[in-house]
Structure 1
Amino acid sequence: MKSILTALLIVGCLSLSAQDQLSDEIINTWIKHTEMNHLILNHIQEENLKDLNDSSSRNVGDQFAHIHNVRMMWLGKMKEAEGIDAEIDSKESQDKEYLLATLKASDKLVQKVLKDALDKSTKIGNLGPVRFMGYLISHESHTRGQIVLALKNSGHALPPNVGYGIWNW
């Protein structure tokens, strides 16, 4: 009987450890994703935040604001969101430092909400934490593509180390 209890305890500890490792990997994936947004924004001249893609109604700055605004649409009513602007307007979206600071604040909010949902096995809205993160990464990666295209079409293509750097995960 003692050996069965010991075995169950070991299996339980291993399962918890594997779950912790998976949760850490999920959070690290989110962090790496946000670093790609920062990499691009850090290499854009502030005056190029006005660049437009012919097929888009949003300029580059507004695209970054859209990333933040969608996050806050999901999370803005949470207590943890207090102190973070719920929406970046079109004037604020042309201020590179403000954009970067606000994006970083919502990066951390998403990270906290993901961690809490993973730890407590809860949902974010109607999505589990991994699906929620997948939704955000998919949406934001599409938006990044719009940003890169607008810069390129406006004659302000990102340097190769940035264009290829977003693939260095």
Structure 2
Amino acid sequence: MDRSRADVLPLSAVLGRGRAEWRPGVAQADGRGPGQGLRWLGVPRPAVGAPRRPGAIGSRPRGILRAPMVDQIVEAWRTNHRINLRLIERISDAGMRCTLSTRGGRNVVRQFAHLHNVRVWHLNRRAKSLAKGARTFATYDEPDRRALVAAMSDSARRVEDLFRLASEGAPGVRTIKRGLIPYLAYFIAHESHHRGNILLTLKQCGHPVDSTTRYAIWDWDRI
């Protein structure tokens, strides 16, 4: 094949030969008509064992996977939990009772209680042995700060155990179908969603957290 020009090829024709990119609206070479085509870029793959330049496609950034993958998963989860604890510590008593709902929706403290309850729900569904003895809050419970920290710390440890056991293929423990890392992402996405809701509620109600705390929750190397 002449690599000096940009040939339009179907995916099967270029796999294993080099890089390709999608070009919308280009007629495909296999006669299927206009649509999503692939344009050959003329950049062959490096030979097996050849050194890769920094930043090259497929190169590994320095320092990645210095610890076993499961340890990094657990550390990400612990960091997420520390952010929750930092917010619980810094939100005022009046702020904990704030809500933007006009129809009985969760206030701030009940949103934190909801995070704990969802963790326990997942434990009951995917690792029943780890859920034994875990307590949940009723829908309209407003636990005090000490009870909230104790409950969330307990469920965080149990979810951490779920991650470790799932990584070992332990019987009776499972994740979502897409795997362990997507499961971690699900948990953190859910809790981050509620943290954003909480911060907006506090701001709108006139009880914002201090700027140091707002910035600290994004400093994952230090928190």
Normalising by structure 1, report the TM-score.
Answer: 0.80
Q: Structure 1 residues 128 and 139, CA, compared in 2 at 3 Å: closer, same or farther?
A: same
Q: Find the counterpart in structure 2 of residue 74 from structure 1.
A: 122
Instruction: Work out whether residues 61 and 94 of structure 1, in 8 Å CA contact, stay in contact via their aligned partners in 2.
Output: yes
- Structure number with the higher helix fraction is 1
Aligned length: 151
Instruction: Work out whether residues 33 and 137 of structure 1, in 8 Å CA contact, stay in contact via their aligned partners in 2.
Output: yes
Whether 2:68 is the aligned partner of 1:21: answer yes
Q: Which has the higher contact order (CA 8 A, sep 6+)?
A: 1
Structure 2 stretches lacking a partner, 5+ long: 1-64
Q: Find the counterpart in structure 1 of residue 107 from structure 2.
A: 59
Query: Which of residues 112, 126, 149 in structure 1 aligns to 2:200?
Result: 149
Instruction: Work out whether residues 53 and 146 of structure 1, in 8 Å CA contact, stay in contact via their aligned partners in 2.
Output: no
Instruction: Work out whether residues 64 and 93 of structure 1, in 8 Å CA contact, stay in contact via their aligned partners in 2.
Output: no
State how far apart, in whole Å, the 2-side matches of 1:108 and 1:115 are: 11
State how far apart, in whole Å, the 2-side matches of 1:168 and 1:55 are: 34
Instruction: Work out whether residues 50 and 60 of structure 1, in 8 Å CA contact, stay in contact via their aligned partners in 2.
Output: yes
Instruction: Work out whether residues 49 and 59 of structure 1, in 8 Å CA contact, stay in contact via their aligned partners in 2.
Output: yes
Structure 1 stretch displaced more, 116-125 or 23-32:
116-125
Query: Which of residues 143, 149, 157 in structure 2 aligns to 1:108?
Result: 157
> What is the percentage of aligned positions where both structures have the same residue?
29
RMSD: 2.2
State how far apart, in whole Å, the 2-side matches of 1:146 and 1:55 are: 15
**Deviation per residue, 1:17-68 (Å, 9 max, x gap):** x696111111111111111111101111233211012588210011101111
Instruction: Work out whether residues 110 and 142 of structure 2, in 8 Å CA contact, stay in contact via their aligned partners in 1.
Output: yes
Q: Which has the larger Rg? A: 2
State how far apart, in whole Å, the 2-side matches of 1:71 and 1:22 are: 22
Q: Find the counterpart in structure 2 of residue 168 from structure 1.
A: 219
Structure 1 stretches lacking a partner, 5+ long: 1-17
Normalising by structure 2, report the TM-score.
Answer: 0.62
Instruction: Work out whether residues 70 and 163 of structure 2, in 8 Å CA contact, stay in contact via their aligned partners in 1.
Output: no
- Structure number with the higher strand fraction is 2
Query: Which of residues 88, 94, 105 in structure 2 aligns to 1:47?
Result: 94
Query: Which of residues 143, 160, 184 in structure 2 aligns to 1:133?
Result: 184
| TM-superposed deviation, 1:76 | 2.7
Instruction: Work out whether residues 74 and 125 of structure 1, in 8 Å CA contact, stay in contact via their aligned partners in 2.
Output: no
| TM-superposed deviation, 1:128 | 1.8
